[in-house]
Amino acid sequence: MCERNSKDYMKISHDDQTVKDISNLGEFGLITRIASASKPGIGVITGIGDDAAVTDVSPGMQLLTSTDMLLENVHFRRSWHDPYRLGRKSLAVSISDIAAMGGIPRWALMSLGIPADLSLEFIDEFTRGFLAMASEHGVALIGGDTCSSRGGLIISVTIMGEQYPQLVVRRSGAQPGDDIWVTGTLGDAAMGLRLLEQLPLHEGEGWGEGGSILISRLLDPSPRTAAAFALAETGMITAMIDISDGLLADFGHIAEQSAVGGTINLDAVPLSAGFRAASSYISEFPYNLAISGGEDYELCFTSPPSRREKIALLMKKCGIEATPVGIVTTSPEVCTRAADGTRCNQKNQGFNHFTR
Amino acid sequence: MCERNSKDYMKISHDDQTVKDISNLGEFGLITRIASASKPGIGVITGIGDDAAVTDVSPGMQLLTSTDMLLENVHFRRSWHDPYRLGRKSLAVSISDIAAMGGIPRWALMSLGIPADLSLEFIDEFTRGFLAMASEHGVALIGGDTCSSRGGLIISVTIMGEQYPQLVVRRSGAQPGDDIWVTGTLGDAAMGLRLLEQLPLHEGEGWGEGGSILISRLLDPSPRTAAAFALAETGMITAMIDISDGLLADFGHIAEQSAVGGTINLDAVPLSAGFRAASSYISEFPYNLAISGGEDYELCFTSPPSRREKIALLMKKCGIEATPVGIVTTSPEVCTRAADGTRCNQKNQGFNHFTR
């Protein structure tokens, strides 16, 4: 049976003052605590509290489903990531996947593997962040799993969304001659990570406001749902993906599944002022970081050049910067072109688990 | 774009003989390897390989969703669990949740956190087991996530199913006077665990065939999909749950959500011959293990006594043993009654994470 109430999602009930930690609360107490903080959602018939959640997909729409696992000391560090923003990001990366299909995010499942040293306060703050992100994007938390972890904190999130079949945007539709677009600026999250690696204990301190913004891009990304939905609705785009592993790797997925290639003009890749300022601190060629650094959660999409002005206008209306950065080619390779015209073939250099 | 082929799901391609381990294969290679072994499924428009899977829920049906996390050395040990049966069980526990709602399991997402010492052969065997279980229950693998784990092996599975609204069975419909039923025999998995704990390295050896069956109940449970679906279809049952945490705890969930209580007759609780034989090896009262031991993945359901014969007949047709073990009461307590008539109030004693 669905446990709902009219409480504000930002407030987690602390009425039981004797509840000091998770072992005191117990598994089912923890589930009830999380459920009581969640809000009802569109299409939710039965939420947290039965063997399975029951939802109604909107008539005529298809179901979109994606899942992400975030592991402590692999995807995040507790020393860098405060629990509130970790909760936000845990859902944001999944919402971004639904956005990249042109879908409307609807329902989420949240599973936690909780180490013995984690406080109840951490879980409360994490949940508060998760539910704030959910609320901002119209997502309802409808289920999950909680268990004890003997390793670090484990987060697994499944998201479901929906969309009319004709508006779903896949990776496979890019055509030679299409523009390659990206939203926002690239490399900020990767640069933020470089800053944290150099200054692990005092977030942003010494790097000024620009540094804080870069670090915030890493720790609290914003999925581009509104822009993605607007793009899908117009029918003007041929393929889309979210940039989680870096532009080269992610456009590489579009190229592979569309059986095309592409050329990225390096000097067209949008860089933020903060990124440019911080570039002097790193030893590598900054464009490498911009096109190969992951976790920006911007969109990469393709569209015929005839649509260029309309897309620019549409993105402006959404309040999102969007930039054409290259062109889809018939060659199966993904290349970059520097300002002086030199070209080099690129292998996908995005983040890859299991490479040692 | 969905990566499908006509290969038998039991065969995982080993055409690349240079692929010796996971680091050699890489993240996307591993995903392609898993995807190439999976089969198409009902309602699957786009499976593994895009930002999100796209599926069609059958017209008029509601979506059922559940998720389970299985952690090494919390839920399983690699020394006890061979990868093939671990793969089977990882999906079986989720299928069981859809069954407990009276639903038809359809689509699964599988996320793996893979430790550095895990072999590619282990993943192949795990996937083979997962897909064998999927095939037996008509489930298609449509997505997931893979990443490296710095702790043990992490498995997170999300399952989706569907059912007409009027046939969905919740925990909340039990009525005072209803019979409490269980399928199969209880406590076998818990007894199997006791055997393994006493004899960790030589599975079943020395315990005879009966011991092997008990251990198999623990390591390779069978979700009761056919029985659950048949029960839901008749409309004769008022509430249902799968027994994952032990009968007392799981009927406790029905009681709580139906605002009722219940009395379990201990001598009516069905015990297997293997369980009875092994009981002499353990120091505790065997009925405690039968009603509080988890992981049987049998069904517990409630139904008016007037339906008793019809239900017995229906279960016989399904080839499933089903036994009335008690009665739903108006009292909010869940009690047990021994053969000599003594009663004792019971707290839910099933497995609970976070209790130290």
With beta carbons less than 8 A apart as the criterion, state whether A299 and A318 touch.
no
- B168: contact with A, CB 8 A cutoff: yes
Across the interface, whether the CB atoms of B26 and A352 are under 8 A apart is answered: yes
Residues of chain A with pLDDT under 50: 1-18, 200-204, 348-349, 356
Return all residues near A150 (Cβ < 8 A) that are at least 6 apart. A115, B71, B73, B74, B151, B152
| CB nearest A55 (choices: B65, B103, B107) | B65
Q: Which residues of A touch B225 (CB under 8 A)?
A: none
**Could you report the per-residue pLDDT of A20-41, keeping only the tens digit for each?**
678 888 888 888 889 888 888 9
Q: Cα–Cα distances in Å, from A199 out to A131, A205, A215, A288? A: 30, 8, 11, 22
Average pLDDT over residues B175-189: 98
> Which H/E stretch holds residue A328?
strand A322-329
Q: Rounded to an integer, what distance in angstroms lies between the CA atom of residue A282 and that of residue B243?
A: 56
With beta carbons less than 8 A apart as the criterion, state whether A275 and A231 touch.
no
Tracing tokens 């999380």 back to the chain, one arrives at: A34
Q: Which residues of B touch A144 (CB under 8 A)?
A: 67
- As to burial, measured by CB atoms within 10 angstroms (0-12 exposed, 13-18 middle, 19+ buried), residue B18 is exposed
Residue A2's pLDDT is: 27
Q: Which residues of B touch A151 (CB under 8 A)?
A: 71, 149-152, 154
How far is the alpha carbon of B277 from chain A, nearest alpha carbon, in Å? 33
Structure tokens at B31: 């995903």
Mean per-residue pLDDT over chain B, rounded? 89
Q: Which residues of A touch B168 (CB under 8 A)?
A: 46, 54
Q: Rounded to an integer, what distance in angstroms lies between the CA atom of residue A154 and that of residue B113?
A: 9
Residue B211's pLDDT is: 87
pLDDT at B355 over 80: no
Q: Which residues of A touch B92 (CB under 8 A)?
A: none
Residue A351's pLDDT is: 54
Name the strands in the sheet holding A62-71, side by side, starting at the edge strand that comes first in the sequence.
Answer: A140-149, A104-115, A154-163, A62-71, B53-55, B44-46
Helix, strand, coil content of chain A in percent (nearest 5)? 35, 25, 40
- A148: contact with B, CB 8 A cutoff: yes
Average pLDDT over residues B291-311: 97
pLDDT at B26 over 90: no
> Chain A interface, mutation test: which of B65, B104, B155, B238, most A Cβ atoms within 10 Å?
B65
**Could you report the per-residue pLDDT of A111-150, keeping only the tens digit for each?**
999 999 999 999 999 999 999 999 999 999 999 999 999 9
Average pLDDT over residues B257-272: 96
Q: Rounded to an integer, what distance in angstroms lies between the CA atom of residue B95 and that of residue B106?
A: 9
The chain A residue lying nearest B143, using CA atoms, is A66
The chain B residue lying nearest A255, using CA atoms, is B1
The chain B residue lying nearest A96, using CA atoms, is B51
Alpha-carbon torsion (B267, B273, B276, B279), positive or negative? negative
Q: Rounded to an integer, what distance in angstroms lies between the CA atom of residue B225 and that of residue B137?
A: 8
pLDDT at B30 over 80: yes
pLDDT at B209 over 90: no
pLDDT at B204 over 60: no
Contact map slice: A 191-250 vs B, CB within 8 A: 240-242
Contact map slice: A 182-201 vs B, CB within 8 A: none
The C-alpha angle with vertex B194 and arms to B189 and B199, in degrees rounded to 5, equals 120
- Which of A102-111, B157-166, B174-183, B193-202 has the least mean pLDDT? B193-202
**Could you report the per-residue pLDDT of A168-206, keeping only the tens digit for each?**
999 999 999 999 999 999 999 999 999 888 864 444 456
Residue B131's pLDDT is: 97
Q: Smallest Cα–Cα separation from A266: which of A328, A340, A179, A191?
A: A340
Structure tokens at A304: 């015929």
| CB nearest A62 (choices: B28, B45, B73) | B45
The torsion defined by the Cα of B241, B244, B248 and B254, in degrees rounded to 10, comes to: -20
Across the interface, whether the CB atoms of A73 and B158 are under 8 A apart is answered: no
Structure tokens at B247: 């009968």
Contact map slice: A 54-93 vs B, CB within 8 A: 54-57, 62-69, 71, 73-75
With beta carbons less than 8 A apart as the criterion, state whether B266 and B339 touch.
yes
> Which H/E stretch holds residue B329?
strand B322-329
| CB nearest B354 (choices: A30, A45, A101) | A30
Across the interface, whether the CB atoms of B156 and A242 are under 8 A apart is answered: no
HSE-CB of A206 using CA atoms within 13 angstroms: 9
Residue B7's pLDDT is: 29
Residue A4's pLDDT is: 28
Q: Which domains does chain A have, with CATH numbers?
A: 22-165 (3.30.1330.10), 179-345 (3.90.650.10)
**Could you report the per-residue pLDDT of B106-137, keeping only the tens digit for each?**
999 999 999 999 999 999 999 999 999 999 99
Average pLDDT over residues B47-61: 96
With beta carbons less than 8 A apart as the criterion, state whether B54 and B45 touch.
yes
- A18: contact with B, CB 8 A cutoff: no
CB pairs under 8 A between A and B: 241
Residue A11's pLDDT is: 35
Within 10 A of A347 (CB to CB), how many other CB atoms are there?
A: 11
